Structure 1
Amino acid sequence: MPDNSSYSETDTRDAWERFVSSGTAVDDRPVNVREEILDSWKRSRELGVDACIPASRKIVDENQIFLRRERNAALRQAASAAFRRLEPHLTDAQTILILADDQGVIIDAIGDEHVLDEGQEIHLEIGGDWNENMIGTNGIGTVLRTGKPAYVHASEHFVEGVQSWTCAGAPIHDPLTQMVIGVVDLSGPPQIFQQHNVALVLAMAREIEIALAEHRQAERTQLLEAFLMSDYSRAHDGVILVDQSGRVLFRRGIEDGPLRSARELSVGHKLLPKLEGLSDQDIPKLLPLNVEAEGIERLKLEGVFRGAALFLKDRRKLPQQTGASCKIKPRANVAEAQIQIVGSSPKMVDAIGLAERAAMANVSVLIHGETGVGKELFARLIHDRLANAKAPYVPVNCAAISSDLIGAELFGYADGAFTGASRGGRVGKFELANKGVLCLDEIGDMPIELQPYLLRALEQRAIYRVGDNQRRPVDVRLVAMTNRDLRTEIEKGNFRRDLFYRISVMTIEVPPLRERGRDIVELVHHFSAFFAQETNRPPIIFTDTALEKLSGYKWPGNVRELRNVIQRFYLIKTDNVVTERDMPPEIMDDYEGSDADSLEHILGGNSGDLESIEASAIRRTIIAENGNLTRVAAVLGISRPTLYRKMKRYHIRKT
């Protein structure tokens, strides 16, 4: 691309005049007339564009403009952040920033008010049609025609009426299909001409594409969760999920059948026209002949129709979760006992069913829940339900590895990659988990600088060992776990938004124990039977009042705390009956009227769980200081924000 000094307005103007008058400019054209400009001139002439018109066409029907902008609402929303960020810098820059749709019609424009007013004279405004077949060579239509970024300066425009302008445009691609769906353009008088304007609009186009991808991924995740949480998902295997525009977002249960290579069912393909206005009877008739649907479920997000699940014929029945517990077999070649998830509360049954369906859907899963709820059991459940009984299960605690070593731990390293590296290098967790499950615990603690590498590994399904440039394909099912609110971490800048959407295709919320009702009693008996066998003594009997106390406690440490309490009974009880008087203080009376706030007393009467001890200390100190949280924080040696955070975490009230 030539620099500014290589452009000659006189030479370009002469070449344009010869071209439009004689129709030829190939043999004797000036070297400064770029090939892409000449090609566009030829197309403009073949399309019958009048080089002498003063302006482009404008859509005058306001309703048509409104409908066009509504149809491109997702594109406009994706561009809004970038436009808002640049708008203050365009005020006195003699420049306007334009967003056009896939037909070259302007749907948004901001910038210098004087230039915006001048643009109306040539219909460089909302509703203006800047397709090449309408106005010839220009920074919007030519980009749409070629699919490449371009600038068009002064007399390079085919139509004389717009040759007092300069413009630079870049295509915006659909993140799924990679089709050009719009153009971002920078326009103004000739004096703003700089070739780096192309770099600016190209960067903006990429920013818009990323925003579109995040929006699509979020919508895909929400639709998928809405479907998987429905009763219909339990009874159907062959499923195609489409968004409101009719584009395939997700498919399941067709990999082993005749439809596995059907192009119409590939993710991103537009399988149906826009669903709005179509009845449930219309949709099956519009499917390809080789695709038959025996049922349809419309999916809504916040009450608005946003997509549909199509249930295909010849499906296999999915196993359904029944009963009050779920058993997980020991892993292949691992000496361990069978695991059991106990719980019959609605939230727990839903979480178990969602985990089983996640295993069959082959999607990345984010397991969220408070400390001690048993998130790792759900990761094991997903692994257990995989078709391959010998699939590896590789757990990694992101919080337990230093930020300097976690990259090498995940991706491995080559020989001599860093000081202290093992001779010959080492295989990373990704490679060890190939064809199986990689479980990343405490993913919210992963260093921000490492997150792009994890995202790349998940998207490319390949890794590079540290210090090595060899690409190593991996087929890994990712299960991530956290007790943090990752959306809050995103706002704080601690977690990447794009990685969040990539790992949370499906989110499983494991309920806290206080929300599980009768599950508490079931777990008491379950752990009691376990520890009775382990200690080789008869099962302990719990009185009704003891069970009432256990059921009424808030369990800040969740199932882990309950397990520790039951274990403690088996360690300290000499008789075989647990009564109300055997309860730890925090369970007995929420510390009302108790002034025993010494650490010795707390440890002596507590389950031994660190979080229970911490919650106990906070409650006792609040009582001792009569609810004065400033003094409570001072006594405990923590800041007031930390105290508030811990009170919220342990569900502690001031009074």
Structure 2
Amino acid sequence: MKQGSYTPGSPAPVRPPQIGGFMSGDLTLHSAYDELITMRAWETLLEGKTEPARSSLPVRSTIHDSWHRCANGGIDAQRNEAPLETDKDAVAALARSNWELLAAATRPFAAIGQLLDGTGAMLALADSEGVLINVIGDKKTIYDGMDIHLGVGGKWTEDVVGTNGIGTALWTGEPVIVHAAEHFCAGIKTWTCAGAPIRDPFDGKVIGVVDLSGHPDIFRPHNIALVAAAAREIERALADSQNEERMRLLEAFIASARNYRSSDGVMIIDRHGRAIYSNNVPIAARKRFGDTIRQGTRSCRLPELTNSGFLDSVTTALPQDMQSCDVCPLELDGDVRGAALVFPKTSSGRVASSGISSTSQRLKDECALIVGESEALRSAIDIACRVGETEDVTSLLIEGETGVGKELFARLIHVASQKSASSPFIALNCGAITKELFGSELFGHVSGAFTGASREGKPGVFELASGGVLSLDEIGEMPLDIQPFLLRVLEERVVHRLGDSRSRPVDVRLVASTNRELKAEVAAGRFRRDLFYRISTVSIHVPPLRERGSDSLLLVEHFNRKLASRKGGVPLHFSNEALDTLLAYHWPGNVRELRNLVERLHVLSHNGVVGIHDLPADMIDPPENRVAIPASPNAVAEAEIPIFSFDDAERHAIRNALAAERGNLSKVAQRLGVSRPTLYRKLEQFGIKRSFV
């Protein structure tokens, strides 16, 4: 049996000394905690001897209520571990999306973490979805924690792993201790934890949890005070950071608003769509805008902030009576971190005509974000624009390897559609959702539909995207049992929220994207054939970078200038040999790999010049550096073949050199007096086939 597992009816774990007077999330009890009584109460609930909705159990009210939520929600009480995200890209994306929370926690976590070594305790930071984003403390405890997935990427909400310090603190919004047998799932009953919620200083919304966990012998009543104090310190750091950013956004607006008049209405928003300053804008209008954009960001993963992408998200959220405003991006350190919404007033006091750019201009701006001139890329852009401009195609599939920029094509299709100026764009990454939450994210839920459901209910992404575009990224990751429901929505154009019999009509254009070969997934039985044909009415293949010729050099220049602008410096200078190497490289990570390389070079470059030896070793001397071409007994005869052009001369010179050097490209390049990247290009140009050793 796995460590920590327990089966109803078996002997209860060894009872620790009774612990009295510890504080729960809602009150302080002076009665003793009794392990045996708690275990028997848990067994009674699971065996159905009492009605879960009404039964009274001899446990604290916080645990009592949580157990009932878990029982009514169908949580597996024999579960031994939390769900764990293991994909490195998804974990990295999680860290990027929570960078502000991680930065605010750096100082308190460093101070507390160094004191926990050898204590048997670990400190964890979870985001608003209950997913762990940082773990420090006693090394052995951290190692033991991975048995139950108490590590970075583990998801600890009540609706997936039952009563626990993180999930229950998220649900109640209060500090909570969950000790040993008080956990709902058997595999976690050998742990004790204390969690305290972290609230956004701006609006009081719970955005994370600080949790102290370990085996039961680390329990102390004051553990809850420790995590509560850490949470407050993180909130203070967040408040300082937010105040500084607001001041900088105001300064950025003052510096850029040359035509702004004091009679105009103005609202400045941060990157979360929150109004941090307003003048001459009615409170009701500010509230409508804030409610609209927050409703959108709760249920979708917004794309990385870019000038057009962020502005499009903002203008989409504008209520009808605010459509006349001018929207100006506000940049900090080269990134769009907010926007100014200016409502010009005419001499009569009326709002002037709209300053939002036309669809054609926005389409032109969106195309400009896709850098490249290759025929394959331009062909894909052309298809995306033509599909976007017609209403006949209601679903399409974007295929391409990881890192090629499929999300940019989804945005392009949205902008190209005739209703894009006033219709929403909602993006959801299917690979970032647990199986248990798929239905809720896609279709929404009503109040009380399941454990962890919002008290007010919540619309799904189909409702939020109605009238616009829904982008489902990594659709190949969608669980097989959810796919029939998606197919039904696409066919019937209606959704049913979880727990609700009412049908809700939706008008959505679905843009699905994948890095998998879906036909192979269909053949293997991992993806429904009928759904595949439904979403692939039109398919757009985004070519990998290695098939785009000199586009890699255009992208190097693009990212080079963008990073230089962000840092307030000058672009790097790349030597010809370095450019040759970049052009010849295979780019398995595509555009994302290229962008990361340029960022690395900006950090590591000392004199602003990038030579070939500044590049990674696998670029300078890749595996294909050696070519197995046996020496030709007719090499001399080949050299004597009449030559009619310079191309013929180069072709035969390369063949003879390859034969003479037995396929060693380094020696071939040296013999011919060219760089290795130039030699690679010539081999491809002349179609000289290579077999690798």
TM-score bracket for the superposition, by shorter chain length: 0.3 to 0.5
TM-score, structure 1 as length reference: 0.45
